[in-house]
Amino acid sequence: MTREEIKNILPHREPMLLVDEAEVREDGKAYGSYTVRGDEYFLQGHFPGNPIVPGVIQCEMAAQTCCVLLGEKLKGKTPLFSGINKVKFKTPVRPGDKIDFECQLLREVTPFFFAECKASVGGKVCFTGELSFAVI
């Protein structure tokens, strides 16, 4: 799905909509991506002359990809982080990189959802972790 289609599921809007495209495949996982342009607000000052996408922004991108799995469950509700666990950052993400996400739900205890995520750039893993969020 395109950014416009993603907006039908997620309440996020620019500049906080951080998924360019996403899909849910037959394996039950959500796959999403974002191409770092270089002019994003989160790169300003992080770091001058050596811009790197902050880890918390990568977590947000992964969480937005996860939320695509919820579809109609998000209708009229807001997903809020409730936990970020076992996160590891392995490779910096820089302007020009396309970061690809693979996310799957591990369990649901309404209104909480628990997911496992992995991100890569050019096939090289840059982020792994478990995220949890409440849908309120």
State how far the Cα of 129 lies from the Cα of 115, in Å rounded to an integer: 9
Give the C-alpha separation, 35 to 18, whole Å.
Answer: 9
Query: Among residues 91, 93, 96, which one has the least CA distance to residue 35?
Result: 96
Given 46, 73, 94, 118, the catalytic residue: 46
- With residue 135 as reference, give the H or E element that holds it: strand 124-135
Measured CA distances, 127 to 59, 75, 88, 108 (Å): 8, 29, 6, 23
The verdict on whether 12 is a catalytic residue reads: no
Q: Which residues are catalytic?
A: 46
